[in-house]
């Protein structure tokens, strides 16, 4: 099975200045969970989405996304719209979070004293769709035959749980007595959301789970040990939850998962380390069809060796073009990287290089703007489009029959 797009991208795009200006009063991270958005901001979001979709159509960029322009940050607007969750805009760093959690320790070095999160304070239920309005806005910019070429992103179910101090993701009065109960209900909500979006015409979903790479980080693992958390058991819990949310997905819905090491303002990343420690479980024990993976910097993300665990029938989108560095990649180097990755897969699966190439695709390693205020150091709107064009052009060269 081939990936749905030979030239892919992670979904978030640099915000236009008009949208940033409209959102200037909402720029504080403590307000990113606010459900009360002024009409002027909503209008700016809608216009920005129409504009960016039109640019993608004109330039032939696929998949078509809304750039996550309706969100302050990539995971915004999901958990807080599920019944049973309550946004907490100012949880103290480090006390409310896991010991030495890479994100919060990084934010603390930047001067942050608090961080927003969403806690479970009651029964988790799916009473309204978190992202249906976003999909309908994107869908409304497209002719119906193009709906299948669009993609929506959704944060991973473990996003809140993994960062919070053990035992605090759900409160005592929530009715839950174990993490498993918490995730069982959360997975049901995810499954319901996938069905809602599918019924409304969406055919491609990307689950963003950068925190899976934290299991490759000694800092995270050691912090968990300090807290008495078994990281092997924690990873098993998260994998089980991912598979639960996928179990009943519609047959015509393609769902992939994206992994990276963080992409905050100024090209900041939170962890480093090869996929080696999680690759077997990632590829062999999760039920995703496609894995979008960061590979633009060997020091940060390691080499292609973990791809040897990729089984037949699954795909990897190689994130070889950087959203962190403004310099345009060398075309020949990117092509060489694709072929090096294919060689690892070919040897492991005992197939030809061409057969191995068939399960690969190309993309930037992360979104261009994980939050409204974030972007790679020196990255401009013009350079972003140049990089997306480079991805498309290389894909056309490597996979000439379909990109």
Q: DSSP string of 106-163? A: HHHHTT--EEEEEEEEEEEE-SS-SSHHHHHHHHTTS-GGGGGGB-EEEE-TTHHHHH
Torsion of CA 88, 48, 393, 358, to 10 degrees: 50
96 vs 229: CA distance, rounded Å: 15
pLDDT for 50-96, tens place per residue? Answer: 999 999 999 999 999 999 999 988 998 999 999 999 999 889 999 99
Q: Which residue has the tokens 């991973």?
A: 156
State the Cα–Cα distance between residues 272 and 301, nearest whole angstrom: 6
Q: What is the pLDDT of residue 267?
A: 47
pLDDT digits 0-9 by tens, 4-42: 999 999 999 999 999 988 888 765 544 555 557 789 989
Q: What pLDDT shows up at residue 271?
A: 76
| Whether the predicted pLDDT of 403 surpasses 50 | no
Residue 5 near residue 361, CB atoms below 8 Å: yes
> Which has the minimum average pLDDT: 16-25, 263-272, 281-290?
263-272
State the pLDDT at residue 320. Answer: 97
Measured distance CA(152)–CA(168) in Å, rounded: 30
Residue with tokens 């690969």: 360
Q: To the nearest whole number, what is the mean pLDDT of the chain?
A: 92
- Residue 293: cis peptide before it, omega within 30 degrees of 0: no
Residues 6+ apart with CB under 8 A from 143: none
Polymer length in residues for the chain: 403
From the number of C-beta atoms within 10 Å of its C-beta (0-12, 13-18, 19+), residue 308 rates as: middle
- pLDDT, one tens digit per residue, over 310-364 is 999 999 999 999 998 999 999 999 999 999 999 999 999 999 999 999 999 999 9
| CATH for 17-398 (3.20.20.210, 3.40.50.2300, 3.40.50.920, 3.90.850.10) | 3.20.20.210
Give me the sheet containing 290-294, strands edge to edge. 152-155, 204-208, 254-259, 290-294, 315-321, 360-364
Query: What does the alpha-carbon distance between residue 34 and residue 50 come to, in Å, rounded to a whole number?
Result: 23
Judge whether residue 155 has pLDDT over 80: yes
3-class DSSP state for residue 180?
Answer: helix
Taking the whole predicted model, whether its pTM rises above 0.75 is answered as yes
Task: Average the pLDDT over 206-221 and give the result.
Answer: 95
Q: What three-state secondary structure class fits 316?
A: strand
* pLDDT band for position 374 (cuts 50, 70, 90): low
Residue 142 banded pLDDT, cuts 50, 70, 90: very high
Interval 165-193 mean pLDDT: 97
Is residue 380 scored above 60 in pLDDT?
yes
């Amino acid at each position: 099975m081939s990936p749905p797009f030979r030239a892919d991208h992670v979904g978030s795009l640099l915000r236009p200045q008009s949208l940033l200006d409209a959102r200037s009063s909402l720029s504080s991270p403590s307000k990113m969970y606010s459900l009360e958005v002024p009409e002027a901001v909503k209008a700016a979001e809608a216009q920005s989405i129409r504009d960016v979709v039109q640019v993608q159509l004109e330039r032939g960029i696929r998949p078509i996304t809304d750039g996550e322009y309706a969100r302050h940050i990539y995971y915004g607007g999901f958990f807080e719209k599920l019944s049973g969750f309550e946004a907490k805009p100012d949880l103290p760093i480090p006390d409310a979070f896991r010991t030495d959690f890479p994100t919060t320790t990084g934010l603390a070095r930047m001067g942050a004293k608090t961080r927003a999160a969403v806690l479970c304070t009651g029964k988790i239920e799916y009473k309204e769709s978190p992202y249906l309005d976003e999909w309908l806005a994107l869908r409304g910019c497209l002719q119906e035959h193009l709906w299948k070429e669009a993609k929506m992103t959704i944060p991973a179910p473990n996003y809140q749980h993994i960062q919070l101090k053990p035992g605090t993701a759900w409160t005592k009065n929530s009715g839950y007595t174990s993490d498993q109960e918490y995730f069982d209900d959360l997975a049901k909500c995810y499954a319901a959301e996938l069905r809602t979006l599918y019924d409304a015409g969406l055919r491609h979903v990307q689950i963003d789970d950068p925190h899976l790479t934290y299991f490759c980080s000694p800092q995270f693992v050691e912090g968990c040990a300090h807290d008495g958390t078994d990281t092997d058991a924690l990873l098993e819990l998260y994998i089980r939850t991912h598979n639960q949310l996928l179990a009943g997905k519609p047959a015509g819905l393609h769902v992939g998962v994206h992994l990276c090491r963080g992409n905050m303002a100024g090209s900041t990343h939170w962890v480093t380390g090869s996929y080696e420690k999680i690759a077997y479980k990632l590829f062999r024990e999760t039920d995703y069809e496609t894995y979008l993976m960061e590979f633009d910097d060997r020091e940060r993300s390691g080499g292609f060796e973990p791809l040897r665990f990729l089984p037949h029938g699954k795909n990897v989108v190689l994130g070889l073009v950087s959203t962190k560095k403004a310099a345009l990649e060398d075309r020949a180097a990117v092509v060489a990287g694709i072929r090096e990755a294919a060689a690892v897969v070919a040897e492991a699966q005992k197939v030809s290089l061409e057969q191995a190439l068939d399960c690969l695709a190309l993309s930037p390693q992360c979104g261009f703007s994980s939050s409204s205020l974030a972007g790679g150091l020196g990255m401009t709107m013009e350079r972003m489009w140049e990089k997306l064009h480079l991805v498309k052009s290389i894909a056309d060269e490597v996979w000439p029959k379909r990109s």
